[in-house]
């Protein structure tokens, strides 16, 4: 057992795992969510409803054929808290579980056998301080469901400057676009499933989508744990 695994084992001993959303009830069966949360969390019904949520975004990326989100996202909700714990409290396994849950929903909607999973990149410095990239952890859960390759280093976040000082969302989008590049050393997959944790304005996936299309991707689908409404 490595250090990470040992630490996780100890944490589990001290804090027996409760539902990852409400953190009050025992999880249902072999799930990591309790039954009330499985029934009451704002799950998105299908890909058509996911697409409808994406179409209202400022940066709806053209050419996306399919989009699937597991949850609707609102501030200070259980979904927001759960994703916060995934990103900032080191609970990367939440990403595996929710990614796998998402794969179960997506499996009935279309075939994924010819696809490669591409996680939205995190800047190396941020990845190092966090210990992981949450999109890669979600991708692991999806991969378990689909058994298709994951291309962790196809997209690269080359600059880490804060976009918070930008004048407006359009300038933020421009800065973001310049900070993501594509790694041309490997083969560019024709069919890509792009993965992110939360989609808010759509500018990150739009920047990634444009790069992938320019590089030769023909068919782009997107999956996220949550989409803001
Ligand atoms: Zn719960």
Domain ranges of the chain: 1-40, 41-228
Residues bordering ligand 1, an ion, CB closer than 5 Å: 19, 21-22, 25, 34, 37
CA distance 33 to 95: 13
- Determine which helix (DSSP H) or strand (DSSP E) holds 39, and give its type and residue range: helix 35-40
Instruction: Answer whether residue 10 shows pLDDT above 90.
Output: no
In this prediction, residue 19 has a pLDDT band, given cuts at 50, 70 and 90, of: very high
Compute the average pLDDT of residues 58-73: 90
Chain centroid, CA 126 distance in Å: 16
Q: Which single residue is written with the structure tokens 């990150």? A: 204
Contact indicator for 212, 203 with CB cutoff of 8 Å: no
Q: What spacing in Å lies between the alpha carbon of 62 and ligand 1's midpoint?
A: 37
Q: What spacing in Å lies between the alpha carbon of 93 and ligand 1's midpoint?
A: 16
How long a stretch of residues is the chain? 229
Q: What spacing in Å lies between the alpha carbon of 112 and ligand 1's midpoint?
A: 30
Among 2-11, 20-29, 138-147, which is the least confidently predicted range?
2-11
φ/ψ of residue 148, rounded to 5: -125, 160
Q: What spacing in Å lies between the alpha carbon of 98 and ligand 1's midpoint?
A: 14
Compute the average pLDDT of residues 168-195: 89
- Mention the CATH class of domain 41-228: alpha beta
In this prediction, residue 5 has a pLDDT band, given cuts at 50, 70 and 90, of: low
- Can you give the pTM of this predicted structure? 0.90
Which residues lie closer than 8 Å to 106 by C-beta, 6 or more apart? 47, 68, 112, 142, 145, 223
- Intra-chain end-to-end CA distance of the chain, in Å: 41
Which residues lie closer than 8 Å to 37 by C-beta, 6 or more apart? 19, 21, 22, 25, 78
Q: Are strands 155-157 and 191-199 parallel, antiparallel or unpaired?
A: unpaired
SS3 225: strand
Q: What spacing in Å lies between the alpha carbon of 29 and ligand 1's midpoint?
A: 12
Instruction: Answer whether residue 1 shows pLDDT above 60.
Output: no
Structure tokens at 142: 């999806």
């Amino acid at each position: 057992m490595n250090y990470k695994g040992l630490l996780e084992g100890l944490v589990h001993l001290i804090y027996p795992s409760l539902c990852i959303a409400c953190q009050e009830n025992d999880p249902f069966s072999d799930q990591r969510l309790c039954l009330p949360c499985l029934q009451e969390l704002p799950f998105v019904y299908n890909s058509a409803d996911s697409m409808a949520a994406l179409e209202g975004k400022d940066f709806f990326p053209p050419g996306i054929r399919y989009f699937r989100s597991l949850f609707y996202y609102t501030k200070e909700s259980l979904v927001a808290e759960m994703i916060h714990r995934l990103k900032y409290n080191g609970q990367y396994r939440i990403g595996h579980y929710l990614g796998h849950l998402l794969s179960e929903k997506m499996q009935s909607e279309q075939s994924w056998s010819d696809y490669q999973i591409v996680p939205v990149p995190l800047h190396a410095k941020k990845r190092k301080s966090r210990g992981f990239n949450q999109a890669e952890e979600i991708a692991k859960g999806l991969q378990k469901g689909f058994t298709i390759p994951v291309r962790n280093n196809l997209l690269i976040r080359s600059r880490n400057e804060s976009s918070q000082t930008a004048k407006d969302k359009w300038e933020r989008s421009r800065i973001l676009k310049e900070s993501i590049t594509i790694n041309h050393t490997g083969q560019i997959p024709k069919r890509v499933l792009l993965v992110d944790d939360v989609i808010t304005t759509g500018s990150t996936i739009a920047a990634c989508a444009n790069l992938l299309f320019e590089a030769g991707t023909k068919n782009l689908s997107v999956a996220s744990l949550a989409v803001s409404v």
